[in-house]
Amino acid sequence: MWNSEQNRHRTYQDYLREAAMYLEDAEKKKKSPTQARLSIQAAKNLLQQLRTAFPSRPVLFPASVKTTNGVKWGYINTKGSFIIPPRYEAADDFQANGLAGVQSKERNGVINSSGQFVVPPIYNTVTQFSEGRAQILDDKGFRVIDESGKILTPKWYTYIGMYQEGRAIFAQADAQGNSLYGYLDRDGKEVIPAKYPSANDFRDGKAVVQLKENEYALIDRNGTTLHTYPHALVGSLGDGLMSFKQTPDGLFGYMDEQGKVVISPQFSVALPFEKGRAVINASKDFTANLYGLIDKKGNEIIKPVYNDVQTVGEDRVAVGKARIASAPYAGSRYAIADWNGKLLSEFVYTDVSRFHQGIASATDGQRTFFIYRNGRIARNLPIVSGVGTLTLTGDIVKAVVDMRTSYYDRSGKLIYAQNTLIPLRGDYRVREEKYAPNKDYLVYYPQIEGIKDRSAEQRINQMLKERSKVKKIEPNAQLTSSYSGDFEVEFFQKDLLVLQLSGYEYPFGAAHGMPSEEYVHIDLAKAKTYQLKDLFLPNSDYVRVLSEIIGQQIKTDPQYSYVFPDSYKGIKPDQPFYVKEDALMIYFAPYEIAPYAAGFPTFRIPYEQIQSLINTRGDFWRSFH
């Protein structure tokens, strides 16, 4: 049993994990009733300790509200009432330890169920907790924190992974700038130094690491080398087997821990074994997908003829046929199969999540619902229109469908959904409309209400639909790319409403999609829109002045070091922009002056810096000042 010092550091998951071990032990000892009863009692004692160490907390769920300051997130109870007010820019689910990640002022932190910050919102990233530990990322790098927010690592690393079996992979650069990997223990100490060119997480007390080119090893939790393998690539350990490539351009096979070849190299993809099964791709040259499922002897459990095969937990497999035979990258339609390869459903699902307690979320491209392990739809649980995922927590169903989060009870009664009407002032308001003509096309677009001139209101609303890319799409057409669009109120002051219209187009098979962003400036009182030139005095040289200010920022401000050398040539007269209360914001599209990862490079220019150029008597300026 754990002593008091150990108990002090035990996490919620630690209690559950050891209780499960005792119950498993009881099952093994069922022929010895006395020993089995002792194991069962030990499990009961652990669960009682858990209730003492982690007293019951209110069950809270992240929920959003659209406001004049953008979308804000808070937490509701099971009746749909806000317990923690919507004040965050983003909010994660509460974890089993009673903590949740949130974003405030574009920085991330962690709160408890009372809404108090355990980890202040000062980081670029805070990961989910695993084994009582999380990773924080700031401008200097990664560090490890415990559940009280205490920083455990004395220095920063270029990377720290999630904890598994008491170890987390970390990376740091050597003198030549190459990344080397090692392992941290739960105290944040370097228990295995950074010396490996690559490393995998621990499974069953062992991990696969690379020693050098064409040489890998299996190590234990202390870093002791158990076996070495003279191969170009070795995959993660699973069920005592590892995939391997003998040469960089060769095919994958499987070997045991001693390095004995168990299944000869013959696959282009060979995933780790799980409960005696592994997903493979028998295609030799990637001209087609030939996914299947094999056992540990290489026998075909599911013939390798499919576009996709995914293990989805609880001895079930999602087997996918290409939606478009000539474009396998456009996705699959899935059937559910059992662990022996028997198909349990038709090929009707466009996505299937992992099973948990006998159910999994699935969608057919039009609706999202739960399915049972027999592959059939759970008709006694909510069926939600749209595409996404459902999660069942107690009696509450969380639906993340068509880019919106809502909640239902088990009967399908709506408990909470984000508002579709944003009050502005007086009769002015913005109504959210949804356009989803096709499974691969979804747009939320704004429509303004309350403008006195109805014809002007209709004209503005038609413009908003067009700029939001609401256009004719055939319902059953197979598109070559997917598109999603949304909007937020970026700024509202006096009579000026600034709407951000955002979109994301993903060509099927591409490495990534292309985001778009546009800001529309609407004077509600005068029923007209403004362009950049409308902010400045007639005939003013605003293009040159703004160009010089931005050029100076690029030269002197380190935050713009990502800008491509010699790519910035100044701004255009109709340069994309938006206004804030105290500054003009000028931005550029991805790839225009910086890499894709930089997003939309944006430059802030305080009005006081360009006051002599602004037409302070003009309609644009007076609409918000």
The model's pLDDT over 85-105, given as tens digits with 9 standing for 90+, comes to 999 999 999 999 999 999 999
The answer to whether residue 554 sits within a structural domain is yes
C-alpha–C-alpha distance, residues 412 and 335, integer Å: 25
C-alpha–C-alpha distance, residues 178 and 320, integer Å: 39
C-alpha–C-alpha distance, residues 618 and 341, integer Å: 72
Pair 18, 1: CB distance under 8 Å: no
The model's pLDDT over 544-587, given as tens digits with 9 standing for 90+, comes to 999 999 999 999 999 999 999 999 999 999 999 999 999 999 99
Between 37 and 531, the higher pLDDT residue: 531
Number of domains observed in the structure of the chain: 2
- Strands (DSSP E) found in 536-597: 577-579, 583-587
The answer to whether residue 520 sits within a structural domain is yes
- Strands (DSSP E) found in 396-513: 396-401, 404-409, 414-417, 421-425, 428-438, 441-449, 481-493, 496-507
Residue 8 pLDDT: 43
C-alpha–C-alpha distance, residues 342 and 219, integer Å: 38
Q: What is the dihedral of CA 610, 612, 614, 615, to 10 degrees?
A: 180
Neighbouring CB atoms inside 10 A of 510's CB total 11
The answer to whether residue 377 sits within a structural domain is no
Residue 5 pLDDT: 36
The answer to whether residue 28 sits within a structural domain is yes
The model's pLDDT over 375-392, given as tens digits with 9 standing for 90+, comes to 999 999 999 999 999 999
C-alpha–C-alpha distance, residues 310 and 316, integer Å: 9
585 CB-near residues (< 8 Å, 6+ apart): 577, 578, 579, 602, 603, 604, 605
Residue 15 binned pLDDT confidence (cut-offs 50, 70, 90): low
Residue 577 pLDDT: 98
C-alpha–C-alpha distance, residues 67 and 250, integer Å: 55
| pLDDT over 70, % of the chain | 93
- 231 burial type by CB count under 10 A (0-12 exposed, 13-18 middle, 19+ buried): buried
Is a pLDDT exceeding 90 seen at residue 510? no
**β-pairing verdict for 82-88 and 70-76:** antiparallel
Q: Which tokens hold the place of 341?
A: 């390869």
| pLDDT over 90, % of the chain | 85
Range of the domain at 46: 4-53
C-alpha–C-alpha distance, residues 327 and 552, integer Å: 47
Is a pLDDT exceeding 90 seen at residue 327? no
The answer to whether residue 542 sits within a structural domain is yes
Please give the model's pTM, rounded to 2 decimal places: 0.87
The answer to whether residue 233 sits within a structural domain is no
Residue 16 binned pLDDT confidence (cut-offs 50, 70, 90): low
Is a pLDDT exceeding 70 seen at residue 477? yes
- Of the candidates 291, 293, 259, the one whose C-alpha atom is nearest the C-alpha of residue 275 is 293
C-alpha–C-alpha distance, residues 88 and 104, integer Å: 5
Mean pLDDT on 501-528: 95
Mean pLDDT on 337-355: 97
C-alpha–C-alpha distance, residues 42 and 23, integer Å: 9
Residue 54 pLDDT: 60
The answer to whether residue 495 sits within a structural domain is yes
Q: What is the dihedral of CA 236, 242, 247, 252, to 10 degrees?
A: -100
The answer to whether residue 360 sits within a structural domain is no
Which CATH number do you get for residue 499?
3.30.565.40
533 CB-near residues (< 8 Å, 6+ apart): 542, 573, 574
